[in-house]
Amino acid sequence: MKVMTLRLPDEMEKKIRIKAELDHRTISEQIKKYISDGIMTEENPDLPLSFVKETLEAKKEIEAGLGNEYKFGVIK
């Protein structure tokens, strides 16, 4: 893992610090999350970020054996 120094405007740093605290992350983890979200957004410009995240979450749930097959036309 490479260590980088990042200079941020004070206001942005404060916002990141607040969000990190609310989400129980370190500042570094929060910045990594924002970078990851930005990359996913750029790689999928036609899709909302929430849709991309939910699709990845569903894929991981299937891999963990938590998914159930959807049966079309069946009403319960």
pLDDT in tens, the chain (76 residues): 888 898 999 999 999 999 999 999 999 999 999 999 999 999 999 999 999 999 999 999 999 999 887 888 877 6
User: Are 20 and 27 a contacting pair, CB within 8 Å?
Assistant: yes
pTM of the model: 0.74
What CA–CA distance (Å, rounded) separates 57 from 35?
Answer: 18
User: Are 31 and 6 a contacting pair, CB within 8 Å?
Assistant: yes
Distant-in-sequence, close-in-space partners of 30: CB < 8 Å, separation ≥ 6: 16, 19, 20, 23
- What does the pLDDT read at residue 1? 80
- What does the pLDDT read at residue 76? 66
What CA–CA distance (Å, rounded) separates 31 from 37?
Answer: 10
- What does the pLDDT read at residue 46? 97
- What does the pLDDT read at residue 70? 80
Q: Domain limits of the chain? A: 10-63
